[in-house]
A and B are shown apart, each in its own frame.
Chain A
C-alpha cells in the first residue's frame, strides 16, 4: 500500500515539476501530498527547531533531496530511512555529539547528551536490548522537536513531569520493572510542583533531582547531595549533625526520611517534637536523648511563635486604633527572621543552637509587645484626656451661653 502511494506521489510530483521550477527538497513536496503517517512528518517539521536553523529532512534521514525520482531514497544516495529504536541515540548523536557542529547554532550548547544517556538506567537497558525504555524521541518528540526553552516543548520545566508520567505513571508500562507508578501523582502534591505551577521554572521537577539525559534514581547515600544542590545550608547542617553518621550506618536516606521523596509537602513545626504528627517520634522514644532534644526544640519554637503572635496581635490592635507603631512592626520583622533561622537550624539537631535563635526572637517579640502595650496605654490616656477636655469645653460653652442670656435679659437702655 505504501509502495503504491509512493508511486502515485512521484507521478504527481513529476507532473507538477514539469510546469514548476525544481523545489529545494523533494521530500517535503512528495510527503505533503501523501496521507496519514507519511504526511505527518511534514506538518510536524514546520515548527521544529531543526527547520528554524535551516536543516532539512536529508540532514537526518540522508538521501538526495534534489532528486525528483524514488532513487533519492536509495541507500546508494546515502538514504538512512527511519532508525530502529535502539539506533535512535546514535542517530541523534551524529550531530548532537559533535561540539564543533553544535556550536555553529548555539555556542552554549552541550554535546554530552549521548555519553550521559549511556550512563542512565534508560541507556543501560537499551544497550541490553530493552526497547521499552525512553530514547531521545520519547521525551523530545520526533519531527516537531522544539527547544527546551519553548513552553510547548515536552521538556519545558512545567511539562517535564507529564512527559515522564507518560511511561512512569503507566502501570502496564512499568509492570515488568516492578517499580511504583505514583511518583508523578505524589510530586503533584508537593511544594515543588506548587511553586512550578505558579510559574517559577526554577522550581525542581523530575529532571532536577534525577538528571535528564543521565537519568538515575539517587542512591541512599546521595539523597542529601541531591537536595543540597538547592538547599545548601540544610545539607551543611545535616552533614554536621549526629543524624548523618547514624543514618549512614542504618542505610537510611537523609532528607527523604522525614520529608519523603516525591510528595515533599510544606513542612510544619508539628513535625518536630514528640506529638502526633512528629517525625522525630517515628525513630526516637521516651527516655532517649533525641526524644528529649526534639521535645526541647518543639517547645522553643512554640514559645517563639506564641510570643510573635501575641506581639503581632497587640500591634495590630494599636494600629487599628490609629496609633503609630510602624517602627515596632519593622523591629518585629527580625523576630520572624529568627523563627525562620531557628526552623532551618532544626536540621543541625542541636537544641542549644535552636534555643539561641528562639531566645533572640523571643526577646525582640517581647520588646515589640511592650511597644504595643505602651501604644494602647497612650491611646487610653489620650481618650481620657479627650474626655476631660470635652467636659471643660462643654462647661465653657455653657458659661458663654449663660453670659449671652444674662446680657440679653438686661433691659435695653
Chain B
C-alpha cells in the first residue's frame, strides 16, 4: 500500500510538483498554548461550508425558484424525496451553525490579535467572507417562499431604500422591482447559488493560501512569555496531529447536525401570500437580531437624519472600522499592549448579545 501511495505521489509530483505540497505539510506546525482551542474554529467553519455546498447541490436537483413552485418543491423534498428531509434540515441547521462558527472564529482572531502584521490581508479576506456568509443567510432565507421569509425579506430590503441617493435604486436592484415578487425570488436564488459561491471560492482560496503562507498566529501574551523564557515554544505537526484533532471536531459537528435534523427538523411554515397581512412578531434570523433591535429602538430623528438611516450609517461605519482594525491597531503589530481595541471587542460582543437578547424578549 505505501508503495502505491509513493507511486501516485511521484506521478503527481512529475506533473505539478505535488511533492512540494507533501513537503510543506510535513514541515507545517501548529503552535501549542493555552489558547490553541480557538485554532479549530477556522477548520470547523470550513467543514460546515463544505456541508453547505454538498447539501445545497443536492437540494438544487429538486428545488424550483418560482413563487408557484418554490414552497411546493421544498414540501416535495421533505416528504417525497428519499432522505430529502435530512438534506434540507442539515442544510438549514448547518447554515446557522456556520454563521455561529464564523462569528466565534472572527472574535477569537480579534481577541488574540491574530490580525496584526503581517496577517492584515488574512483578516480582511476573512471579514469579507463573514459578510458573504451573512449574504448567504439573507438570500437563502427567502428561498422556501414561506410567509415568515417573505415578510422578513420585505422588511430587510426596505432598509436598503433609506440609503441616501442610491436607496431607491438599491431597493429595486435587490427586489427586481418595487415589491418582493417572483423576480426577487429568482434574483435571490441567483445570488445564493452563483454570485456568492463564486465570490466565496475566490476569497476562501486567498484566505487559506494566506493562512498556509503565514502560519498560525501566536497571541502576543504567549509570544512575550516565550521570548522572556517563561514558557517553552511548543508546537505539533499540522499533518497528521492537528488534522486528526480537526477531524474529531468535524465528526462531532456531523453528529450535532444529524441530531438536530432528526429531532428538530427545520420547519417549512406556510406558503407566502403577498396579499396576506404580515404575521405578528415578525423577526429576522438570529444573526441579524442585534441590528434589527438597534433600528427598532432608535428615535425617528437623530439630529438631522432619519433614525433608520443613522442606524444603517452607524453599522456601515462600524463594519468599515472592523475591516480596517489591523491598520488602526497597528501598534499591536509591534508587540505593544492595545487595551482600547480589546475593550472595543468586548463592547461589540456584549452589544450584539444584549441587543439580540432584547429582541428575543
Contact = CB atoms under 8 A, between A and B. Distances in A.
> Do A and B make up one complex?
yes
Interface of A: 322-324, 326-327, 382-383, 385-386, 389-390, 393-394, 396-397, 400-401, 403-404, 407-408
A390 B268 contact: no
Interface stretch (B188-196, B253-261, B294-302): B253-261
Given A324-B85, A386-B258, A403-B244, A397 B265 contact: no
B241 A397 contact: no
4 nearest CB pairs, A to B: A322-B265, A386-B262, A393-B255, A382-B262
A390 B86 CA distance: 15
A286 to B, nearest CB: 51
B214 interface: no
A400 to B, nearest CB: 5
Contact of B263 (A386, A394, A396, A401): A386
B342 interface: no
A135 B248 CA distance: 93
B265 A386 contact: no
The interface size bin for chain B is: 20 to 34
A190 to B, nearest CB: 32
A183 B78 CA distance: 58
A382 B255 CA distance: 13
B336 interface: no
B258 A397 contact: no
B97 to A, nearest CB: 16
Contact of A389 (B247, B252, B255, B263): B255
Given A324-B75, A407-B240, A408-B241, A393 B252 contact: yes
Contacts of B78: 324
Interface in B228-245: 236, 240-241, 244-245
Given A383-B263, A393-B251, A400-B244, A327 B75 contact: yes
Contacts of A397: 248, 251-252
8 contacts: A327-B79, A382-B86, A393-B255, A397-B248, A400-B244, A403-B244, A407-B241, A407-B244
B259 A400 contact: no
Nearest to B78: A324
A400 B247 contact: yes
B267 interface: yes
Given A324-B79, A324-B265, A390 B255 contact: yes
B252 A390 contact: no
A401 B240 CA distance: 12
Contacts of A393: 251-252, 254-255, 258
B251 A400 contact: yes
B258 A389 contact: yes
Contacts of B268: 324, 326
Contacts of B236: 408
B48 to A, nearest CB: 16
Given A322-B265, A326-B75, A386-B263, 10 more contacts: A324-B75, A382-B262, A386-B258, A386-B262, A400-B245, A400-B251, A401-B248, A403-B240, A403-B244, A408-B236
B304 interface: no
Contacts of A403: 240, 244
A213 B111 CA distance: 86
A401 B254 CA distance: 17
B242 to A, nearest CB: 10
B267 A322 contact: yes
Contacts of A326: 75, 268, 270
A322 B263 contact: yes
A70 to B, nearest CB: 64
A389 B264 CA distance: 16
Contacts of B241: 404, 407-408
Contacts of B85: 324, 382
B85 to A, nearest CB: 7
Contacts of A386: 258-259, 262-263
B243 to A, nearest CB: 10
Contacts of A400: 244-245, 247-248, 251
Nearest to B240: A407
A390 B261 CA distance: 13
Contacts of A407: 240-241, 244
A332 to B, nearest CB: 16
A323 B258 CA distance: 15
A327 B248 CA distance: 40
Nearest to A394: B255
Interface in B80-107: 85-86
A129 B120 CA distance: 106
A404 B245 contact: yes
A393 B78 CA distance: 24
A327 B79 CA distance: 10
B354 to A, nearest CB: 31
A390 B244 contact: no
A403 B255 CA distance: 20
A226 to B, nearest CB: 39
Nearest to B254: A393
B262 A383 contact: yes
A390 B258 contact: yes
B93 to A, nearest CB: 12
Nearest to B253: A393
B172 to A, nearest CB: 34
A385 B262 contact: yes
A323 B265 contact: yes
B250 to A, nearest CB: 10
